[in-house]
């Protein structure tokens, strides 16, 4: 079985009013279904929790404590939408929230790898995000989280769905993605950045 990590950026998932674009999620889900039909295991790294929670919490861009509060609220919303949409397509998802220190522990890192491999073997799609409610931006953004997960699982490909714009509520943007690509390729993982808003871009961009 081929394994892919697909990182979905905030600029892809969110509308201009920072609402989750359910049409976009459904289109991604359809492509995941097609990949599974081709015996490709998929792990998703999903951004957008802080931005989705921001409408419920008023905070300045430098108020990290309230960003963490917003992250917890937004993460509940994001995963509920993903669960609703993926379940309609008969795909089971599992939420996995990670902090950087977890991967710095050999025993916890090994346990995380086993968990994610078990999900892949079961056909379950892990939906991963930084646990920003506990440790804000511990990876320096989801581009690097996706990179670390890809290296941990020794995936065949890591695809980053982006508009290269970054998000005012998170970190990242084009520079971080290019750094992540170098790290991935250094670990012999095929990697690419694609326009996440293009139709069937995942299916068209398999390396």
pLDDT tens for the chain, 207 residues: list them: 999 999 999 989 998 887 899 999 999 999 999 999 999 999 999 999 998 998 888 777 778 999 999 999 999 999 999 999 999 999 999 999 999 999 999 999 999 999 999 999 999 999 999 999 999 999 999 999 999 999 999 999 999 998 755 444 444 567 788 899 999 999 999 999 999 999 999 999 998
Is 38 in a helix, a strand, or coil? coil
The CATH class for the domain spanning 2-204 reads: alpha beta
Say which residues have a Cβ less than 8 Å from residue 199's Cβ, sequence separation at least 6. 27
Q: Are 45 and 78 in contact (CB under 8 A)?
A: no
| Strands of the 190-195 sheet, one edge to the other | 93-98, 125-130, 40-46, 2-8, 157-162, 190-195
Q: Are 14 and 49 in contact (CB under 8 A)?
A: no
CA nearest neighbour of 3 among 165, 97, 92, 121:
121
pLDDT score of 186:
96
Q: Report CA-CA distances (Å) from 69 to 38, 45, 95, 192.
A: 40, 20, 18, 32
- φ/ψ region of 155 (left if φ > 0, alpha if ψ in -120 to 50, else beta) reads beta
55 secondary structure, DSSP code: G
CA angle 127, 131, 135 (to 5 degrees): 165
CA distance 125 to 43: 6
Enter the tokens of residue 15.
């509308």
CA distance 58 to 66: 8
Q: Report CA-CA distances (Å) from 191 to 57, 95, 127, 185, 207.
A: 36, 24, 19, 7, 8
Tell me the domain boundaries of the chain. Answer: 2-204
């Amino acid at each position: 079985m081929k394994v892919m990590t697909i990182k979905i950026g905030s600029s892809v998932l969110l509308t201009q009013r920072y609402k989750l674009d359910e049409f976009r999620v459904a289109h991604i889900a359809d492509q995941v279904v097609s990949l599974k039909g081709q015996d490709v295991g998929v792990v998703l790294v999903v951004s957008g929790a802080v931005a989705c929670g921001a409408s419920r919490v008023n905070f300045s861009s430098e108020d990290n404590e309230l960003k963490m509060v917003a992250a917890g609220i937004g993460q509940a919303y994001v995963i509920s939408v993903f669960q609703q949409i993926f379940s309609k397509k008969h795909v089971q998802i599992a939420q996995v929230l990670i902090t950087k220190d977890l991967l710095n522990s050999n025993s916890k890192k090994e346990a995380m790898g086993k968990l994610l491999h078990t999900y892949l073997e079961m056909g379950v799609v892990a939906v991963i995000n930084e646990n920003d409610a506990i440790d804000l931006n511990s990876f320096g953004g989801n581009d690097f989280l996706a990179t670390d997960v890809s290296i941990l699982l020794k995936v065949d490909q890591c695809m980053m769905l982006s508009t290269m714009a970054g998000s005012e509520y998170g970190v990242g943007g084009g520079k971080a993605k290019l750094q992540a690509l170098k790290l991935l390729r250094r670990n012999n993982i095929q990697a690419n950045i694609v326009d996440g808003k293009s139709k069937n871009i995942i299916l068209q961009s398999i390396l």
